[in-house]
Structure 1
Amino acid sequence: MTYSAKVIKGGKIVIPAELRRELGFADGDRLVLEREGEALVVKSYRQVVREVQEVFRPYQPQDGRSMVDDLIAERRREAQQEDDEAAASVPRDRR
């Protein structure tokens, strides 16, 4: 179906109510505008998040591990190593 909208003062575009309902756009929703050549593509923020999640899904561990937990554990090991190195560089009489 084709819809029509008009750009009004301040660069505002009113999306027809029927189209807003079909797309699930509600008052206050954040929308993302993308330019594709001479066309303007309007997406909901939720849609963009889903698209980004799909791009990164192949990199998610398949064994159920949490990448966040792995990263936190790695950072803790690095911090402990830095603390150990700093303590080792302090002369014994200053400890």
Structure 2
Amino acid sequence: MTYSGKMIAGGKAVLPAELRREFGLRDGDRIIFERHGEGILVKSYDQVLREVQSNLKALIKHPFTVDEFLAERRAEADGE
């Protein structure tokens, strides 16, 4: 679906209300602009955060818990 917005004074972009509601955007929320070919991709800050978390999670080869981490540190301290 295609939407139309408007550029207003100061370089501010107005997103259509339907899109703001659909994506849960409220006044003051941060949005991210990315170059996408010859266009602009607009994402919510929360969406970008979820993407980064997902990418980082994929890099973890052996997930561990806080309890495992603390047990390792205790074992290291006992060995010193």
Superposed pair shares fold, TM > 0.5 = yes
Q: CA deviation at 1:65?
A: 2.7
- Please name the residue that 1:37 is paired with: 37
Structure 1 or 2: more strand by fraction: 2
Report the number of matched residues.
70
Structure 1 or 2: more helix by fraction: 1
Structure with max Cα Rg: 1
CA distance in 1, matches of 2:56, 2:22: 28
Assess, with a 3 A threshold, how the Cα gap between structure 1 residues 60 and 32 changes in structure 2: closer, same or farther: farther
Structure 2 portions without partners, runs of 5+: none
Assess, with a 3 A threshold, how the Cα gap between structure 1 residues 37 and 21 changes in structure 2: closer, same or farther: same
CA distance in 2, matches of 1:65, 1:16: 43
What TM-score, normalized to structure 1? 0.63
- Please name the residue that 1:24 is paired with: 24
Q: CA deviation at 1:46?
A: 0.6
CA distance in 2, matches of 1:27, 1:47: 17
CA distance in 2, matches of 1:65, 1:23: 32
For residues 12-56 of structure 1, give each alpha carbon's deviation from its aligned partner in whole angstroms, at most 9, with x where no partner exists.
Answer: 111011110011111110111101121111111110110001111
- Please name the residue that 1:88 is paired with: none
Quick one: higher RCO (CA 8 Å, sep 6+), 1 or 2?
2
CA distance in 1, matches of 2:7, 2:30: 18
Q: Which runs of at least 4 in structure 1 moved beyond 4 Å after TM superposition? A: none
C-alpha RMSD of matched pairs (Å): 2.0
1:61 and 2:62 are equivalent in the alignment? yes
Q: CA deviation at 1:61?
A: 3.4
Of all paired residues, the percent bearing the same amino acid is 52
What TM-score, normalized to structure 2? 0.74
